[in-house]
Amino acid sequence: MPEITFLGHATFELGEEGKELLLFDPFITDNPLMPKKLEDMKADYILVSHGHFDHLGDAYEIAKNNDSMIISTAEIATQAGEKGLKSHPQHLGGRHRYPFGSVKLTLAFHGAGIPGGHACGFVVNYYGKNIYFPGDTGLFGDMKLIGELDPLDVALLPIGDNFTMGIDDAVVAASFLKAKTVIPYHYNTWPLIEADPEEFKKKVEAKTDSKCVIVPPGESYSF
């Protein structure tokens, strides 16, 4: 059974015993919510949504330590390759198959954090389960298409406002995506993005058919 572990801010691990471990936006150093040490981080694949410090984070060091493959936009993947790291470039709307399933890059309305690039999100098919990780984004109408094209088992959604969607916009996003389960992230790392996940849960379950699961940093959700 696949398991998603929340490591604070926007960092997640996705894995299953005996199978590949995927790491999303590994902001380890200077992440006040991080329950792990950098030297303890493992990954077979590292998915990077954009180049801001709190998302690209420690991706290159973790990749170097573990011989991980970085999956990201062409700009970030190229930069990783120039550092001697394994990488696979994709871009918005493109899907590629991997041993665990596939990764499709989606739109994300946010800054790229790297010259000439775009921010992105990911729909990951992991051994038959579809997981949506949008990175940092505002609400946009084509989220409806994401859930229609790839029916979602889990949608991870930012709720901290200021840099991303706030709670009310994220509830609308949940209604568009129609995932079986929604998990909030990108909140309470710093005072500027304080948000109440219980409020989000209450609104999601009142206004959509999705279940909302709050996963504290260091804990996991199996699905």
Q: What local confidence, expressed as pLDDT, does residue 176 receive?
A: 98
**Calpha distance 119→85 (Å, rounded):** 21
Q: Is 56 helix (H, G, I), strand (E, B) or coil?
A: helix
Residues of the chain short of pLDDT 50, as ranges, are: none
* Domain residue ranges in the chain: 3-222
Tokens at residue 40, please? 């303890």
Q: What local confidence, expressed as pLDDT, does residue 199 receive?
A: 98
Contact 2, 124 (CB under 8 A): no
Q: Is 78 helix (H, G, I), strand (E, B) or coil?
A: helix
Would you identify the CATH topology of the domain 3-222?
Metallo-beta-lactamase; Chain A (3.60.15)
Q: What local confidence, expressed as pLDDT, does residue 110 receive?
A: 98
Contact 167, 159 (CB under 8 A): yes
Tokens at residue 159, please? 């709720």
Q: What would the pLDDT profile of 5-31 be if each residue is shown by its tens digit?
A: 999 999 999 999 999 999 999 999 999
Residues facing residue 95 across a β-bridge:
104
pTM value surpassing 0.85: yes
Percentage of the chain beyond pLDDT 90 is 100
Q: Is 214 helix (H, G, I), strand (E, B) or coil?
A: coil
Q: What local confidence, expressed as pLDDT, does residue 196 receive?
A: 98
CA-derived radius of gyration, the chain: 16
